[in-house]
Homo-oligomer: A and B are copies of this chain.
Amino acid sequence: MFWVTRRYELSASHRLHAPALSEEENRALYGKCNNPYGHGHNYVLEVSARGPLDPRSGRAVDTNRLDALVRDRVLDAFAHRNLNEQVEVFRTVVPTSENLGVEIFRRLREGWSTAFTGEWPKLAKVRIAETPRNIFEVASDEID
C-alpha cells in the first residue's frame, strides 16, 4: 500500500466553550481559548489516502479528485470562517481540533465514493496542526 498525503491551509476562527459546562468549568478547561470573542488559527490540514499502485497511471491516488473533494466539502465551508457561527455542527459541538478532525473526516467520507468510484484509494487519516506545536490526528478506525 502507498500513502499519499496532501497538505492544505485554512484560516478560521473559533471559541472553545462546552455548552454543558459552567462558565468556571469552561475557563478552567480551555483557558484563553474560552475567550468569548474567539480567536483564530492558520490550520494546516493534511489528508492521507492509501491504496495500491494503479499500473496504468503509476499513481495510487488521483490527487486532482482528492483536492476537489477537500475543496468542495471542507475548504469552501471552513476557510475564512468563524467555525462556531458558520459551520452548523459547531453550534452544538465544541470546535476543538479533535472535533474538527472528526467533522472533516465525516465530510470527506460522505463524498468519497462519488470522488473515487473503485475499491481504492481509501481515506486513511486526517491530520490538523492548529499551530506547529499542537497537532491532532484521527485515523479511519475512530470514525464510526
- A11 in complex: contacting residue of B7, B41, B63, B95, CB < 8 Å: B41
Give min CB distance, A15 to chain B, whole Å: 9
Q: Which residues of B contact A138 (CB under 8 A)?
A: 2-3
Q: Is the interface of A mostly helix, strand, loop or mixed?
A: mixed
* Total number of A residues with any Cβ neighbor in B under 8 Å: 63
Say whether B41 contacts A40, CB under 8 Å.
Answer: yes
Interface residues of A in 40-69 (CB under 8 A from B): 40-42, 46, 52-53, 56-60, 63-64
Query: Is A4 close to B, CB under 8 A?
Result: yes
Contact with B along A89-104 (1 / 0, CB 8 A): 0000111101101100
